[in-house]
Amino acid sequence: MITETSSLLAIFGIAVTLSAYLSAIRLMAIQKIQDVTGDDQKAADKKWGLYKKLGWLTLADFPMVLSAFFLGIYLLWDVLNLDQIWNKFSNQDPRPWFQFNGLRLFLIAGTVMVFLHMLAWWKTAENLLNGKKIIEPEPSVDVPAGDSSSKQTQIKPETESDVESPPEKS
C-alpha cells in the first residue's frame, strides 16, 4: 500500500530529487536572465520571456518542495520526537494531515510537470514542423588578428603544402 513507510520513503526521495532538478533549472534560467545584455526592447522582451518561464516552473516547484517537506516531517516525526513539542499546542495527531497533504501535493506537482513537459514537446514539434531553429546559436566573437591582449589562440588552417606526407615503405 502507498501509505507504508517504504513507499513513502520512495516518494519522499523522488520529491527531493525532483525539487533539486527544478531548482537547477531555476538557477540556469536566472543565469540566462543575468546574461542578457542591453537596454533595448529586444533584451527586455527576452528577459520577460524568461521570467514567464520561471513563473510556470514555480507552479511545479512550490508544491513539490512542500510535498517533500510534509513527507519528511511525517517520516521523521518519531525520530525528531516532535510529539513533545506538538502536545503543548494540541492533543490531535497531525501526522495523518502531513501524510495526506504531502501525497496530494506530490500528485499536484507531478501533474503540473506532465503538463509543462507536454507543452514543451508541443512547442518543439511545432517549431520543427515549421522549420524553425530549436536552439539559438551562440553569437560568434571576432578577434582581430593583431590583438595581443586577447588570450585566444588563432589557428592557421593547414594547406596541402604544409602537411608532410608519410614516409614511404621500402
Domain count, the chain: 1
Dihedral of alpha carbons 4, 5, 6, 10, sign: positive
Look at residue 113 and tell me if it is in a domain: yes
- Domain presence at residue 110: yes
**What's the pLDDT score for residue 153?**
47
What pTM did the predictor assign?
0.68
Domain membership of residue 38 (yes or no) is: yes
Please tell me the predicted confidence (pLDDT) of residue 3: 75
**Residue span of the structural domain in which 115 resides:** 5-129
Rounded distance between C-alpha atoms, residue 78 and residue 2, angstroms: 19
In a domain, 87, yes or no: yes
Residue 84 lies in a domain: yes
Nearest CA among 5, 14, 41 for reference residue 107: 14
105 within a domain of the structure (yes/no): yes
Determine the pLDDT at residue 127.
Answer: 85
In a domain, 161, yes or no: no
* In 36-94, alpha helices (H): 41-76, 82-86
* pLDDT tens per residue across all 170 residues of the chain: 777 888 889 999 999 999 999 999 999 999 999 999 888 899 889 999 999 989 999 999 999 999 999 999 999 998 888 888 888 898 899 999 999 999 999 999 999 999 999 998 998 888 888 887 766 666 555 555 555 554 444 444 555 555 555 566 65
